[in-house]
Structure formats: C-alpha cells, structure tokens
Structure 1
C-alpha cells in the first residue's frame, strides 16, 4: 500500500512530499489496533520541532489526524472491537503515515465514536457504558431537542434530548450548548445541581476567540468529530481532495501555516 511522506530538504530547501510504498508488520502489538483509514487530515509539519525532539528520518510520515474503522485488535486490547468507528491522533514518532489505507496505532491514541446520529435514544446507555457509569466531563452539542413533540421533525430527531445530555454528565461536568433558546425545567436544574454541573453557551462566530477549551481536544474527540461534520467546529471549510492530489495539497499546507487539507481515501 502507499503512504504520504516528507523528504526534508537540505539547509533552506523546501521539503518535498512523496507517495511511497509501505508495509505493516504481520504481527500486531499487544496494545495496538489496526484501523482502515477513511479520512486523514493534513496539517503543517514543524520540522524544527521534530529535530528538537530527536526525530530525524529520511522520510517523515505525514498525516496524523485520522478517522476510520477497526479491522483487528491486539490480544490485550479490551476497549475496541472490530468494526468500531474510531478517530485519533498519531504520535510525533509514529512510523506510519496516517494517509495509508491501513495503519497500526496504540489503543490509547484512539477514541471510539458513539453513533448518536443513528438513534439519540441510545446516547445515555452508550456513554455510561463507555465511562463505567461515571459520565463525561464535557459535552459540546450542535443543537438539542427541547420537547418530545420535536420527534416528528427529521432534523431535530437526530439531536439528543436535553435531559439525556444532563444525565450523561459526570460530577462537576460542563455542558456547552449552541442552542440559543435553551429552556431547562425544574427537574433538569435539580439534576444539574446534584451533579454540581454547569451550562454555558457556544456561539460559533466567536469560537476562535476562545482558547479556554482548546487544550481538551482529545478528551472530547468523540463529540468533536460529529460537531465538525455538522459544521459547528471547523477552522475553515475545505473540500476533500483525492489521494493522487495529496502531495500538491501538502505542499500548499506547508507554505500556509493556518491552512489545512483533508484527504478522502
């Protein structure tokens, strides 16, 4: 199979991006997960940082933000199963390019995506199962259902109910909502009080001005994947490019620090 790599230039020469043949080891590590990549995000390579941390290779793997489906798990992996939908970030020293058909990644770099888009009724049980009944620290939504009568609305039906969101919060949890007309009933407020939880509002127009939550990306990755697909959290709208255009796209990303690209496999 093929992967995207960077051949660092000598002195001030611009790095070159090439598609190279690569192979995976036959034996999967005890804590590794084999993932079929469905999409990979391209971000600018910080070659100086890689050099500072002692990562020096002729070919540097490109593409660290990946999403896909689990194909196989190592013998000591208990959190994931084949056919799970996952998303994750490859570490700096990963030998794999994220822009491969299949990659091997340590399980603690992955998060399982909870498919609430199929049925919001399973949200509570799914989250409590994933967290051992403790609930989550943070929830960011792209809209909620305020009343059961909204079940007839096809778009609203995909949103979780406000009571379910409050129920999945752990003690001291935080709910960030983009529902501008949110109304909470006394039982919902009571449940928030018992959990010592809090609610705040997200205005997408001022998201980039807020840095308070940016460092918690990995902790809310399962939620962010769906919010990005809904268009709530995205730095810049981009069309997915095919694999054969990946080298050109990566050269553009490398020249423009704030620019990113998504490659569809």
Structure 2
C-alpha cells in the first residue's frame, strides 16, 4: 500500500513528492476509525510553519482533507460504525497521508457525509469551508445588511466565502483577476429556482490595473465603506519587489483601510502585515479591527484544541456538508484527478499555480 509524501532535503531546495510503500497499519486504537479513502483534496504545505512548531520531517505526509468509507472502528468509538460514509480533516501533526487507500483517523476529526454529496465535493470543500466560517463567523460575525468585500472571489476560498456571506444576508462585492474570473462571478446564482439575482452585487475587474478598488467600493456603498474585507494578500509598499503578475493585482494596504467603513473588520491572509502609525490612526478613527486568518489557528493552540474539536470543528464540518447537500455551497473544483497523477498535481498546488481546488479520486 503506497502513500504520497513531500521530501525536502535542505532549506531552499525545491520540494519533491514521492510515493512510499507503507508498512501494514498498526492495530486500531480505542478512538481510531479505519477509513478507506475515496477522495483527497490537495492543499499547499507550509513548511516554514511546520519548521517553526517543530513538526518538520524528512518525509511529510501529503493530503489532509479526505472523504471515504469506514472499514473498522476502535472499541470506544461512539459516532461511527462500519460502512458509514465520512469526511474530515487530518490534524497538522498527523502521521497519515490522505493520499493512501486506507488510513487511521481519530473519530473527532470526522463527520458523516450526506448521501447526496459526492466524494470529490466533500473532500474539496472542507478546507475552504472551515476558512470561510472562521473568517465570516468567528472573526467578523457576518449578518444581514452588512457589506462584504471578497478579494479574488473566483478562487476556491473566495467562492465559498461569497456563498456563505450571501446566504447570511450580506451584500457581496468581489474583485476579479481576469475576464474569465469576472464572467464566472457574474454567473454565480443562489440555489433557489427562479431567482436571477447574482450572488455578487458588483464585480470589480482589476486585471487591467486601471480600476481603483477603494473608489469602486465607496461608490457601491454610498461613501459609507465596506463592513468586512477578506483579502487575498496585499501590497505593503508602493513599489513591490515582486514582479509577478498576481502581486501587481493586489490592493495596497492603504486602499483597504480607505474602503473600510466605521466599525469595519479587515480579515487578512498576509502574515507579514506591517501597519505604520498613520495606518493605525486611520483604523482607530474608524473603530475598525484587523484579524489574521490562519488556516491552522486552532491546531496551534493547545488550550483551544478541545474547544475546537468538540465545539467548533464538528458543527462547522456538519454545516458545510449540509450546505453542500442543499447546493448552497458549490465549490470551485477542477476535474477529479487519478491517483497516478497526484505527484504532478501536488507540484502545481505547491507552486500556487492551481486556480481550482485539486482533488484526487480513488
């Protein structure tokens, strides 16, 4: 039985992905669930973070968002039984690679998969769904009547965030990085039949570099500003060192502060965000807040670990599955990928070159 791992021999070296023959699985422990994997989503591996928290290894397991069928359960497992269909996220310190035919998972990382939801959609929506709930529910508390700006709305995360915000009654504005992205966002519609109103109230096409995002948002909100901003990265300085086309499309941090309304929330994915005193003063005058969206926020907090698993993670995963089942969530997925192409697909994901969520189907 083979599993996919990431190998990095020295810092700065390009990663290689290799299939390794696994030994037989250890005996199923009290709270373990043996799962036959049917689909596994691919996500970028943050080796720097793993190194900081002392989890870096010569071989890192690949694939943490999985869906599959229960084969066997430990004697103290109460939530599942053989033949149940499940979906879940493997923890950050998991020794298991989700890209393996059979794995062992603690029962607290799994929920039941609705019958109407296919394997690929279930695995492909998990991570982006948890991120969207973290950003819009726990960090900013989206509610009816609020205006939400989702940067790069055509990305897998942006798509789920737009759908969740609109479902909660918010007005959604989004940026598009290309004409294809703009057309995709304009075609998004609620799942209710007969409703032609798009999910996104205004799509701001920034691909030509001529559109001012702050000006467009203030115009759309009558000068009041946006209540919640989810960025996809920001420019920290006027002249960026990066010359990539994507970095040129990112808004400047001053633009985001300008378009924020009174009491607004800025949810950023920029780990190295630097705010100068004038920036802080502008936020102070608006009573606005800045929060950092870290995918692994609960995994990194031992104090919150139990709270995350029992109070947050399970209800979030169950709600994501319910919204998939009722077509409220329609994830941005690429065509299912066979296992033998997993290495090539993971290389694309690790280089941030995939515009749709990549899911391996067994």
TM bin, normalised by shorter chain, reads 0.5 to 0.7
In the other structure, the counterpart of 2:103 is: 103
In the other structure, the counterpart of 1:256 is: 352
Distance 1:258 1:97 in 2: 21
In the other structure, the counterpart of 1:79 is: 79
* Moved beyond 6 Å, runs of 4+: 214-217
RMSD: 3.5
In the other structure, the counterpart of 2:36 is: 36
Q: Quick one: structure 1 residues 23 and 203, their matched pair in 2 at CA, closer, same or farther if it must change by over 3 Å?
A: farther
Deviations 1:40-79 (A, max 9, x none): 0000000001111111211100000000010000011011
Task: Please say if residues 7 and 15 of structure 2, whose CA atoms lie closer than 8 Å, have aligned partners that are also in contact.
Answer: yes
| 1:220 aligned counterpart, secondary structure | helix
How far the C-alpha of 1:248 sits from its partner, in A, is 0.2
How far the C-alpha of 1:176 sits from its partner, in A, is 4.9
Q: Quick one: structure 1 residues 76 and 12, their matched pair in 2 at CA, closer, same or farther if it must change by over 3 Å?
A: same
Deviations 1:211-258 (A, max 9, x none): 69x986652323424644776535533111111100000000000176
In the other structure, the counterpart of 1:239 is: 335
Gaps of 5+ in 1: 118-174, 183-201
Task: Please say if residues 204 and 233 of structure 1, whose CA atoms lie closer than 8 Å, have aligned partners that are also in contact.
Answer: no
Instruction: State yes or no: 1:56 paired with 2:152.
Output: no
How far the C-alpha of 1:204 sits from its partner, in A, is 4.6
Q: Quick one: structure 1 residues 218 and 15, their matched pair in 2 at CA, closer, same or farther if it must change by over 3 Å?
A: farther
Q: Quick one: structure 1 residues 179 and 251, their matched pair in 2 at CA, closer, same or farther if it must change by over 3 Å?
A: closer
Q: How does 1:205-220 map to 2 (within 5 A)?
A: 205=200, 218-220=314-316
| 2:348 aligned counterpart, secondary structure | helix
Distance 1:116 1:246 in 2: 26
Gaps of 5+ in 2: 118-166, 170-189, 202-227, 231-264, 266-292, 296-311
Distance 1:67 1:210 in 2: 31
In the other structure, the counterpart of 1:12 is: 12
Q: How does 1:67-146 map to 2 (within 5 A)?
A: 67-115=67-115
Q: Quick one: structure 1 residues 11 and 37, their matched pair in 2 at CA, closer, same or farther if it must change by over 3 Å?
A: same
How far the C-alpha of 1:87 sits from its partner, in A, is 0.3
Q: TM-score, normalised by structure 2?
A: 0.46
Distance 1:250 1:230 in 2: 30
Distance 1:23 1:226 in 2: 36
Q: TM-score, normalised by structure 1?
A: 0.61
Task: Please say if residues 33 and 104 of structure 1, whose CA atoms lie closer than 8 Å, have aligned partners that are also in contact.
Answer: yes
Distance 2:198 2:30 in 1: 43
Q: Quick one: structure 1 residues 226 and 100, their matched pair in 2 at CA, closer, same or farther if it must change by over 3 Å?
A: farther
Q: Quick one: structure 1 residues 263 and 180, their matched pair in 2 at CA, closer, same or farther if it must change by over 3 Å?
A: closer
